């Protein structure tokens, strides 16, 4: 641990380490803090040992110190600086200024005597101080010029060669970032990048420049948040943290806040000579530092050597947001026309740069082949919102695969021999505890695979029922609450198998390949659950969607059976409750604005996130339901800020300043609260579903993915949703939908017994064109007359029976094997049918295929239908005898009522 310095006021008798005189009680004293060498602590570092000095005595020792000795060069070097009085701060600052000027002096010359900071009562002490100052001044007047401060680390010959280029200066990169930020159009931003790389004599480190321009691809984790940066830089600059916090809340940009503070910092430089390679090494070291003290010293080192502008962009690299409104596509378009497409398939930036440089950068669109690399994540294929069944059928004309949308965490698995890498949706490494032991089960599931790249979802499942558990249960503490649940990997795609890329194969082939190679490990590695939906099977898709919603699942993902895997493209469809019927199926509530939070980025300095809640009539308090930051346009947000600020009171997230009428957890304490909740506006909040949250106080009820859909000017606090009504809405949201039951609806949609892709595809391939055409006609009829009960024509039934001998035999067997003892039962069924004629139109309708399947399972129903057909009234039969016969007879497929009245249809 390095030497530190602190300041406080003497509380009891203690002697100055240098002059040996007593430090009077209440006087300012400085301390040199070092580890105690006489105490060994096995559980941590040794305790601190402090040596106290008069301020003048300590600075006298600094005058005699070597250049490499750590001294107090700025107020931020003193722990406890904020607690000093303003008068003492001025005096110590004068001592620091004198010391710095003296140490920076290159030549000889008499230096002025250090100014005493306090008037001492003891004459001997005054003489000692003056004598020490005079000796120090005389000593420094004879000293040789100070050597340069030792660099952070020695540089190799190779690193020096790489840094010789002016294009590798960090200040030049900062200038490029400013140019990109100054233009608005994406084409102009890409042109700035293009002109930089095509500059005369360009010889910069292209790979590192691209990494800095697209910091989101950097896998380093720096373990430092905005609040920690404020804390550290407050110490470095010697300013109160509250001052930096206020500035940060106003502009929403921590890098801009620190830059402005650095401009007033006495020791900042106008321009540094740091290269991008040195910045990269500095970031490497920062990623290894996890303790506050280590991070503080590392930031202090850079702050003293970089200009305010360079410090600003260094912080943006740490936050991985360069704030010039240009994403990866814009930067890559400026680098090479095909670089972004290659980047989507392979995140190996070094390989992309190498291929571009060896092929020479060209302005023409040309192919840039980049292979999939194990260990380098691939951008996941994504899905866009689907708002209707008809839209899905239009997009997937070849048929689709309807797959459960698992509410877990997306994970991309790379297996290379015995080595496993797990990447999240954002291509960052997955936290280890979430994928513990998964690698062992993957080996069991793919026993023959040496190399693999899989796309999957990991979530907790109940081992007793196989039902997926809600989102968030993968957390290290949440897991402990579910004793009968384990993490399960649901595999839904394969991109590479034993060095053979398969992502360009059709989805149907990739799924069939997974079925053949993946051996399920129950409750650990499973197939994702899906069904094949043929084009035109609208009712089947709608039924599956409603069942998924009923069973508490997030929804479905719809994929074209002939589609290939396209990294980064939104060519799948996702169906969720809040997408359907223009949001008519979503969960909504009229909530009250209780508080607000400062925004960040472009919304910095304004209220952009709002704390929404309900009124509890029983306790006469207001309860929080959700934080909401989506749904308002920039114009509406500006107007709301003007309207709400006079009605809000700033509490700066201070829990002690929360009003008594508001029940709010400390984690959600806002920056502003309403002064009078009765004057608060009411907004209609829509979300994916009502959920449970321990952070919110409305009986733990919250809304998932909330957004504003309407500002309810027609409502006030009294007519808004109250806590009692919110509970009813929560319970009603769990009710089942009115969905037609199929023959296998007793099985939950997440059950593996519903997995039937291979069989469904096999059956589909086995059907000839005539049968497919008939099925298509039947499906179109079902869509056109959804609320009726259309019957299959005799011709269709006959064709089906010819192609399915089992069905034909089953029907004939039912007709020929009716015993005499069943005729009485038939008579009773006839009477019952006549009674039901009056209410026939109120009964739910079923498709002919469903009715046929039910009749095969229930002989009684089959007999009932046949009895109704064979026992027509005498009047009806007489009427048919008088009509001319249709040439097709009973095989006629025409359903026109006029035709049926004019012609008889005898059996042929």
Selected residue with higher pLDDT from 555 and 472: 555
What is the count of structural domains for the chain?
A: 7
Distance, CA of 142 to chain centre: 63
pLDDT band at residue 884 using 50, 70 and 90 as cut-offs = confident
How far apart CA 177 and CA 401 sit, in angstroms, is: 45
Distance, CA of 122 to chain centre: 67
- Is residue 479 in a domain? yes
pLDDT band at residue 446 using 50, 70 and 90 as cut-offs = very high
Largest CA distance in the chain: 141
- Range of weakest confidence among 179-188, 368-377, 705-714, 866-875: 866-875
How far apart CA 559 and CA 404 sit, in angstroms, is: 11
For residue 110, give its domain range. 4-142
Selected residue with higher pLDDT from 853 and 307: 307
Structure tokens at 747: 């099985």
Question: Are 32 and 126 part of one and the same domain?
Answer: yes
Q: What does the buried/exposed string (b/e) look like for 70-89 if buried means 16 or more CB atoms within 10 Å of the residue's CB?
A: ebbbbbbbbeebeebeeebb
How far apart CA 675 and CA 678 sit, in angstroms, is: 9
Alpha helices by DSSP H, 472-630: 507-517, 538-550
Question: Are 386 and 494 part of one and the same domain?
Answer: yes
Question: Are 500 and 595 part of one and the same domain?
Answer: no
Question: Are 124 and 85 part of one and the same domain?
Answer: yes
- Is residue 599 in a domain? yes
pLDDT attached to residue 810: 46
Question: Are 556 and 602 part of one and the same domain?
Answer: no
How far apart CA 101 and CA 266 sit, in angstroms, is: 12
**Mean of the per-residue pLDDT values of the chain:** 78
Q: How far is CA 68 from CA 96, 150, 152, 902, in A?
A: 17, 7, 12, 113
DSSP state, residue 650: E
Question: Are 866 and 876 part of one and the same domain?
Answer: no
- Is residue 879 in a domain? yes
Short-list 744, 798, 799, 738, CA closest to 772: 799
Other CB atoms within 10 Å distance of the CB of residue 876: 8
pLDDT reading at 15 higher than 90: no
| Coil vs helix vs strand at 606 | coil
Q: What does the buried/exposed string (b/e) look like for 439-454 if buried means 16 or more CB atoms within 10 Å of the residue's CB?
A: eebbbebbeebeebbb
Place of tokens 């809600």: 470
- Is residue 756 in a domain? no
Question: Are 554 and 668 part of one and the same domain?
Answer: no
Place of tokens 């599931």: 445
Q: Which of 710, 732, 754 represents a domain boundary (last residue)?
A: 732
How far apart CA 123 and CA 132 sit, in angstroms, is: 14
- Is residue 270 in a domain? yes
Cβ-based neighbours of 594, under 8 Å, separated by 6 or more: 611, 612, 613, 622, 624, 662, 664, 670, 673, 674, 677, 680
CB 162 within 8 A of CB 277: yes
For the residues of 832-889, what is the DSSP string, one character each?
HHHHHGGGGGGSPP--HHHHHHHHHH-HHHHHHHHHHHH---HHHHHHHHTSPBPTTG
Question: Are 561 and 594 part of one and the same domain?
Answer: no
CB 237 within 8 A of CB 262: yes
- Is residue 758 in a domain? no
| CATH number for the domain that contains residue 23 | 3.30.1740.10
Question: Are 605 and 564 part of one and the same domain?
Answer: no
Question: Are 429 and 574 part of one and the same domain?
Answer: yes
- Range of weakest confidence among 163-177, 311-325, 441-455: 163-177
Structure tokens at 502: 């398969």
pLDDT reading at 776 higher than 60: no
| Coil vs helix vs strand at 167 | helix
Q: Which residues face 15 on adjacent strands?
A: 22
Q: Report the range out of 333-342, 412-421, 748-757 with the highest average pLDDT.
A: 412-421
- Kindly report, residue by residue over 574-614, the tens digit of the pLDDT: 988 777 755 555 678 999 999 999 987 778 788 999 999 99
CB 298 within 8 A of CB 285: yes
* Averaged pLDDT for residues 474-487: 69
Q: Which of 108, 142, 176 represents a domain boundary (last residue)?
A: 142
Which of the residues 405, 511, 559, 577 is marked catalytic?
Answer: 405
| CATH number for the domain that contains residue 659 | 2.40.50.140
- Is residue 436 in a domain? yes
How far apart CA 233 and CA 261 sit, in angstroms, is: 9
Question: Are 11 and 133 part of one and the same domain?
Answer: yes
- Is residue 664 in a domain? yes
pLDDT reading at 444 higher than 50: yes
Question: Are 250 and 297 part of one and the same domain?
Answer: yes
pLDDT attached to residue 103: 78
Q: What is the rounded (10 degree) CA torsion for 60, 61, 64, 70?
A: -120
Is 405 designated active site? yes
| CATH number for the domain that contains residue 417 | 3.30.470.30
């Amino acid at each position: 641990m390095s030497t530190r310095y602190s300041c406080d006021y003497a509380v009891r008798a203690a002697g100055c380490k240098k002059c040996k005189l007593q430090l009077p009680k209440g006087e300012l004293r400085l301390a040199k803090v070092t580890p105690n060498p006489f105490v060994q602590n096995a559980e941590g570092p040794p305790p601190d040992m402090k040596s106290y000095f008069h301020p003048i005595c300590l600075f006298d020792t600094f005058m005699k110190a070597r250049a490499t000795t750590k001294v107090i060069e700025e107020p931020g070097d003193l722990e406890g600086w904020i607690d000093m009085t303003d008068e003492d701060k001025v005096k110590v600052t004068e001592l620091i200024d004198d010391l710095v000027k003296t140490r920076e002096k290159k030549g000889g010359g008499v230096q002025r005597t250090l100014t005493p900071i306090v008037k001492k009562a003891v004459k001997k002490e005054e003489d000692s101080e003056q004598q020490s100052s005079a000796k120090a001044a005389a000593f420094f007047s004879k000293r040789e010029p100070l050597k340069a401060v030792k660099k952070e680390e020695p540089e190799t010959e190779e690193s020096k060669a790489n840094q010789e280029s002016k294009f590798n200066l960090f200040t030049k990169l900062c200038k490029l970032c400013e140019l990109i930020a100054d233009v608005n159009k994406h084409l102009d931003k890409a042109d700035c990048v293009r002109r930089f790389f095509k500059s005369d004599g360009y010889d910069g480190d292209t790979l590192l420049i691209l990494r800095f321009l697209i910091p989101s691809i950097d896998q380093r984790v720096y373990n430092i948040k905005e609040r920690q940066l404020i804390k550290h830089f407050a110490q470095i600059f010697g300013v109160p943290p509250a001052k930096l916090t206020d500035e940060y809340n106003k502009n929403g940009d921590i890098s801009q806040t620190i830059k402005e503070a650095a401009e007033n910092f006495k020791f900042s430089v106008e321009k540094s000579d740091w290269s991008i390679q040195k910045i990269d090494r500095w970031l490497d070291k920062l990623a290894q530092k996890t303790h506050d003290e280590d991070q503080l010293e590392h930031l202090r080192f850079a702050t003293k050597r970089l200009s305010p502008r360079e410090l600003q962009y260094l912080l943006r690299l740490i936050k991985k947001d360069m704030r010039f409104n240009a994403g990866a596509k814009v930067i890559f378009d400026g680098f090479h026309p095909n670089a972004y497409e290659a980047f989507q398939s392979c995140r190996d930036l070094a390989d992309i740069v190498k291929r571009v440089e060896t092929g020479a950068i060209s302005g023409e669109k040309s192919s840039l082949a980049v292979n999939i690399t194990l260990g380098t994540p691939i951008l996941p294929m994504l899905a866009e919102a689907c708002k209707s069944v008809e839209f899905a059928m239009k997009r997937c004309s070849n048929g689709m695969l309807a797959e459960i949308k698992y509410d877990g965490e997306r994970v991309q698995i790379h297996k290379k021999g015995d080595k496993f890498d797990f990447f999240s949706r954002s291509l960052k490494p997955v936290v280890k505890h979430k994928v513990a032991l998964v690698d062992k089960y993957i080996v069991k599931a793919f026993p023959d695979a040496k190399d693999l790249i899989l796309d999957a979802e990991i979530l907790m499942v109940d081992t007793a029922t196989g039902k997926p558990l809600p989102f968030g249960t993968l957390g290290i503490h949440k897991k402990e609450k579910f004793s009968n649940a384990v993490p399960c990997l649901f595999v839904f795609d394969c991109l590479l198998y034993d060095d053979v890329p398969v992502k360009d194969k059709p989805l149907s082939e990739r799924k069939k390949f997974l079925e053949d190679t993946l051996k399920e490990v129950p409750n650990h590695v499973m197939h994702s659950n899906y069904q094949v939906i043929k084009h035109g099977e609208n009712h089947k898709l709608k039924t599956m969607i409603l069942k998924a919603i009923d069973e508490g699942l997030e929804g479905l993902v719809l994929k074209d059976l002939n589609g290939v895997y396209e990294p980064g493209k939104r060519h799948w469809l996702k169906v969720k409750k809040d997408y359907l019927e223009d949001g008519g199926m979503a969960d909504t509530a009229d909530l009250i604005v209780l508080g607000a939070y400062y925004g960040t980025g472009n919304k910095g300095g304004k209220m952009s996130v709002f704390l929404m809640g309900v009124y509890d009539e029983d306790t006469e308090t207001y309860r929080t339901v959700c934080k909401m930051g989506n749904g308002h346009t920039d114009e509406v947000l500006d107007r709301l800020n003007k309207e709400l600020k006079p009605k809000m009171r700033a509490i700066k997230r201070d829990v002690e300043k929360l009003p008594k009428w508001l029940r709010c957890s400390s984690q959600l304490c806002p920056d502003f609260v309403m002064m009078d909740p009765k004057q608060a506006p009411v907004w209609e909040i829509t979300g994916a579903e009502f959920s449970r949250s321990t952070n919110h106080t409305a009986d733990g009820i919250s809304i998932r993915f909330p957004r504003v859909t309407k500002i309810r000017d027609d409502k006030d606090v009294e007519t808004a949703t109250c806590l009692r009504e919110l509970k009813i809405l929560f319970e009603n949201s769990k009710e089942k939908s009115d969905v037609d039951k199929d023959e296998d609806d007793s099985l939950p949609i997440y059950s593996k017994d519903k997995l039937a892709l291979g069989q469904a595809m096999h059956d589909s391939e086995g059907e000839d064109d005539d049968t497919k055409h008939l099925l298509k006609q039947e499906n179109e009829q079902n869509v056109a007359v959804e609320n009726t009960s259309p019957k299959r024509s005799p011709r269709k039934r006959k064709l089906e029976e010819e192609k399915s001998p089992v069905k034909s035999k089953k029907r004939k067997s039912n007709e020929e094997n009716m015993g005499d003892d069943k005729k009485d039962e038939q008579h009773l069924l006839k009477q019952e049918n006549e009674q039901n004629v009056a209410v026939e139109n109120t009964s739910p309708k079923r498709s002919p295929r469903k009715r046929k399947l039910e009749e095969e399972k229930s002989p009684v129903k089959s007999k009932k239908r046949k009895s109704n057909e064979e026992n027509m009234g005498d009047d009806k039969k007489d009427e048919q005898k008088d009509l001319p016969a249709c040439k097709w007879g009973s095989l006629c497929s025409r359903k026109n009522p006029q035709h049926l009245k004019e012609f008889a249809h005898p059996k042929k």
